[in-house]
Amino acid sequence: MKKIQYLIICGLSLMGLSACKSFLEPEPEDFSLTTNFYQNEKQVTYALTGIYANLKNSALGENYLVRCTASSDEAYFYNTEQSPATYNNVASDTYISGIWTNAYTSINFANNLLDNIDRSTGLSASVKNHAIGEAKFLRGYYHFILAQWFGDIPLHLKASASYEDGIRERTPVKQVYDQIIKDMTEADSLLYDQTTTTLGYPERVTSDAVEGILARVCLFAAGEPVNDTKRYKDALFWANKLVASGRHRLNPDFKQIFINQVQDKYDVGESIWETGYNYISSTSALNTLGVVGVYGGVTQTFSPTINGTATFDSGYVYGYHKVHPRLYRAYQPGDNRRDWTIGNYNYTNAVKTYLSPTQLWERMPAKWRREYESSLTRSQQRGNATNMPLLRYADVLLMLAEAENEVNGPTAVAYNAINQVRRRSFTTTPVVEHITMTSQGTGYTGVGYTNAPAVTVTGGGGSGVRILATVVSGRVHLILTNQGSGFTSAPTITIGTAWTANTPYTVGTQVVANARLYTVTAAGTSTTTAPSQTSGASSATATGAVFTYAGVPATATATISATPAVDLPTGLSQTAFKKAIQDERYRELAFESLRIGDLRRWGILVSTIKGMANDINGLTADIPAAGSAFVAPALAPVNNISARDIYWPIPIRDLILNPKMIQNPGF
């Protein structure tokens, strides 16, 4: 059960009243205006709820995760969508206007509280300070979202009580960042005793969340296109402060972070701030469904019915995104993040089918897997209760490494921070890197394998390898589904079941004897004489069961990786270390709505997206050309993006209503 139940109706109702005050004469007696509302803790909670609410709604929740941050070098929108996901941006786009409108609505809610809470006579100092701290942080956070996507924006620090209050010029983005940092810094001092540890859950703003997000904000202010480079020192200060608190740690199991979020479990070590969703029952008014893992994940749309009721065995997933093979190739051998972040399987109806190593364009995001949900939420088609991460401790460590490198170069502090993330991510011994078929067995001539054989892995000193065998037209195909660990030499791969003496065999069983494949065509118990013929059937008198020659058996060999180089190599230049951080963020934080912002502040957004054309056309080593089904959607963002797309267009509605508003260049 989520700790916070957002009472959105209450929050939205009270926060919107100030703009209507002039129309309410005399003041009604059955509800309160914002000017005299904040008289007890319950009322303050309602007000804060209204400010939080838009973090999870369709614009800043669903669309932010699915569309607005979809097209990068992580993934592309596999649909005919015309939206920010394809950089086909226009001022009338409903997703863009949704971000703008909901962010400013929330800013106004925060301003209402901040303008009026000092009139309260019934609040303790602690409750009041915490409320002001949360409201100031959230006002800054919503301004931060707007500054990222629109650049210069109107800065609103007082609640709007009339139409005229909304008519103002755009504030230069550097000044916007200065105010964001001011708001958040004040929030940190007010929330000093409200931590993730004291609350026990990460859905509410704490001093931990403030400090981590401040590090992020300062990196954005220091980077392009703002270039207020003195902010790198501030980013370093805030990241260091959070790490030094000792309240957070990396979860030792990368995949468990996301299983916890799917299963409604709090991990206050790794998770610092999350947007919480909830599902209680089909009749509950407190349901707040999200789409994490529903719109972006491995497509599963098979809907079997039991007694007329739809069931979703592994959870209904729309699967709007396809992963760029570049991300898959970015992971080194032994990096356990790859096959959890990127699905190595698809669904055929409700059956999981694994992908071969060459099927790179078919892969989809898989961080949040609906199969781990409870049956209650898994039965919901359009939503679930999985939380959306806004800040993880791994992100803080990587920000610390980046800021330290910018300020002091690649020091031991910077190396230690990034290596902590890497050490959590790797096995420390060689893994099985790939399987090579030396023979697929006889097929296509009416003989060969009739069903998938068993595959065993022996020797080599390691364990944990899993190999899936499939049969197509009598020939065996092997797919490595788990690389294992601990190998000192290549293990032996055995395909099929060896013939044994004095064993009862049933019809249809296939065995390998004398380096030949046989199918049992008459049941019986084998004698001590193994079949050895190269055509036809054996004699029951000689072999007991009748074994009919089926062809040449399949064989395969394994190749192991080198011992993974877990820690970064020492002696990197400042430039090389920055590139290592960029790559580590790419691998660690994929699909968490951070990549486009990172590429923008590093000044490489347009060039990176344009560079995807080489991957799509097969001009990048180790990446096959995209199949015909993938070319058009993968190329859409590549063809559409230009220098103008560093920022979004100002929504047309606001250009019309605000005569002081000026459109962004290129729109």
Beta bridge partners of 472: 475
Residue 409: how many CB atoms within 10 A of its CB? 12
Q: How far is CA 531 from the centre of its chain?
A: 54
pLDDT at 314: 85
Report residue 35's pLDDT band, with 50, 70 and 90 as the boundaries: low
Q: Which two tokens stand for residue 548?
A: 């009919």
Q: Among residues 174, 203, 173, 183, which one has the least CA distance to residue 107?
A: 183
Residue type, 348: T
**Mean of pLDDT values over 21-39:** 47
**Mean of pLDDT values over 422-445:** 90
**Cα separation, 113 vs 94, whole angstroms:** 29
pLDDT at 20: 31
What number of CA atoms fall less than 13 Å from residue 91's CA on the CB side?
15
Q: Which residues contact 394 (CB under 8 A, 6 or more apart)?
A: 250, 270, 421, 424, 588, 589
pLDDT at 312: 67
**Mean of pLDDT values over 572-584:** 98
Torsion, CA 596, CA 602, CA 606, CA 609, rounded to 10 = -60
**Mean of pLDDT values over 199-205:** 94
Report residue 618's pLDDT band, with 50, 70 and 90 as the boundaries: very high
Q: Answer whether residue 22 shows pLDDT above 50.
A: no
pLDDT at 190: 98
pLDDT at 402: 98
Tell me the pLDDT tens digit for each residue of 357-409: 899 999 999 999 999 999 889 888 889 999 999 999 999 999 999 999 999 99
Q: Name the residue ranges covered by the structural domains of the chain.
A: 1-77+87-190, 277-386, 432-560
**Mean of pLDDT values over 159-165:** 86
pLDDT at 220: 98
Beta bridge partners of 524: 505
Tell me the pLDDT tens digit for each residue of 252-311: 999 999 999 999 899 999 999 999 999 988 888 888 899 999 999 999 987 766 555 666
Residue 281: how many CB atoms within 10 A of its CB? 8
| Identity of the highest mean pLDDT range in 61-75, 79-93, 343-357, 645-659 | 645-659
Domain at 1-77+87-190: CATH code: 1.25.40.890
Rounded-to-5 percentages of helix, strand, coil across the chain: 40, 15, 45
Tell me the pLDDT tens digit for each residue of 218-262: 999 999 999 999 999 999 999 999 999 999 999 999 999 999 999
Whether 383 contacts 291, CB under 8 Å: yes
Kindly report which listed range (63-72, 323-332, 335-344, 479-488) carries the lowest average pLDDT score: 63-72
Q: Which two tokens stand for residue 511?
A: 């065995």
Q: Which residues contact 234 (CB under 8 A, 6 or more apart)?
A: 181, 214, 218
Q: Answer whether residue 82 shows pLDDT above 80.
A: no
Average pLDDT score over the chain: 90
Peptide bond into 491 cis (omega under 30): no
Residue 399: how many CB atoms within 10 A of its CB? 25
Specify the residue for token string 């890497």.
Answer: 422
Residue 375: how many CB atoms within 10 A of its CB? 10
Q: Answer whether residue 13 shows pLDDT above 50.
A: no
**Mean of pLDDT values over 334-339:** 95
Of residues 598 and 81, more confidently modeled: 598
pLDDT at 27: 38
pLDDT at 23: 22
Specify the residue for token string 């991510």.
Answer: 425
Of residues 68 and 337, more confidently modeled: 337
Report residue 446's pLDDT band, with 50, 70 and 90 as the boundaries: low
293 φψ region: left (φ > 0), alpha (ψ -120 to 50), beta (else): left
